[in-house]
Structure 1
Amino acid sequence: MAATPPPSSLNFCTLLTETKRIVGAHSRHFLALSLLFLLPIPFSSVLCHSLLSHYPTNSQQFFLTSHSTPLPAMPLLLALAFALFVLLFSLFALASITYSVFHAFYGRPVKFLSAVNSIRVSFWPLLGTALASLLVFSLVLIVAGLFLFLMIGGFEMFGFEMEVVSPYCVGLFIVCLAVAVLYLQLNWTLAGVVAVVEPRWGFDALSRSASLIKGMRGVAVSLIVFFHFFGFCSGMSWWSVYLKREWDVSGNVVQIVCYSMGAMVMLLYHLAANTVLYMYCKAVHGELALEIAEEFASEYVSLPFDDGKVPHVVSVAYVQ
């Protein structure tokens, strides 16, 4: 068994090229999955914003009262229903697309029904992993708040007067929280992929992701910045249309379709690129060659990105 390249050949451009190659080779398959699980997410966001815009925003009308007990009115229920809808379809898309990219990477047959059936196996591990990450994020928020109050108390001990709502305190709190969240997001980039392709979930999947990402943090950062930038630009372009006084769903069909399709493609490539990054991380850690040797014991195997454009990232040859 032989494994070559230097890990330096595994860069961001290589990642995007391999992602594009896999999606392009199975374009109809990924288009069907995207239309089924990804397109409803941006489309429902447009519909939800449109419906919420017709409701009053003042607190007296936003809540209904019954026997002096405030009950959430329709806007709050609609927002909760939208959040649940997005969560479910995000997990469906993550499970099916990750499963498909993982098998396509090895050159295995990629079938639509198999990808859809993978949701049944991966849904609960993905949900458990999402809840574990949410719990950690909540703890980080609490710790950041406690740190802010302790810092203010320390300043007051030395005679400095500070208010919790002052711009300096709020700014410091936001910066500290943003750094912590970005650090966790970087380390947990592969957690969803791990929950789909490995028998790990919850905190175990988060720990596994943090372990795999070592040595590839630069590529992971580039991936996060790249897709977040396009997501931000897409959101801003949509928001500029939404803020128009003449906004109406029936009169902005073209904008809705363009936004939804663009967001769908971006989400598809983001999920696919995360899966390819997972495979690259395993290659850097020496795990991928061993798996290929076990699966294709009597054959020479060349990985999909071993095509001349990328210098032989991993190749395995078994000699008896």
Structure 2
Amino acid sequence: MLRRGHALFTALAAGAIITGWALWFDSDLSQPRSDILKPEASTSGQSLFSRTANEVTLADKKQHKGSSVSAKRFLLNADTRIRFDRFIFEHEGRAPASLKELYATQVEKQQYEPKSSAYLTDLFNRYINYKVQLKALDAPVSSTDIRAMTYRLQSKQDLQHTLFTQQEYRHFFSQDAAYDNAALERLQIAADQVLSGKQKSDFIEEQLNSLPDSQKKSFQPSINVNRLSELQRTYDSPEVCYQAVSAEFGHDVARRLNKSADDQSQWQEKVKSFRRWRNNLMRSDALSEDQVEAQVSQKKASMFTKTEQRRLQVYLENPALLEEGGS
């Protein structure tokens, strides 16, 4: 159970780092042109690269004070990136330059104030440039290669800080960065050859428990499973274990855990009985190999459903599961 819990946490740690990587476009993105990779300038010739959304809003407010024209102001928030990604997805297959042109047209139709419109268009262009360059970093990396994954994560974050202001980074990437860094920490724990299996599980569980609620939510089922396994290892007495589980998770969980343990015990006895019968049959000199195989198949069909037969095969090929109490 401990090894399975450790393997689960390792898989979660590795898989989380991949989250948030490049959105794939068509083949044109694999050959980014130099004009795509540069922040684009405003119509006045001054780059909007360092302009924040608040600065744009203030400038627009001053420019349109007393004006009878009703124009919208753009306010940067976390939903901005979501809207960008949705737009990219809805126009999947278009080249970067085409996406930029199409989005600029859409911004014009929304009747933003001039500087808000220019800022929003520039921000989207930089986001496209980010996607293009991110794809170049997205070479295959083994989930157990800590050094390579660390380098890729750092390169991604460096790119984000290069193309976006601190305010933009905070709205677009700060949550992803916190999630990635925590996942990398778990992966480093799982790969530490000095730590024992129990130490790894304990450290990973401690790290997961320390996560903010927004991150912990997705891992809570795994945390609960690991905690239940720990309680089962701690208390040898079924009655004491039941009381401990009930106190922490409630009577319903304790009853289901007991039933699961009973079901598992019955399953193991059933497998052991079949294995003893099969071993005795195979020792018989009166039957040919084909006859033995035929009787084994018939016995399987009479004792196990088709789904159980697949599970049975796993146990027969891994006898240690019967000694470990694996499910």
TM-score range, shorter chain: under 0.3
Q: Who wins on radius of gyration, i.e. which is larger? A: 2
TM-score relative to the length of structure 2: 0.23
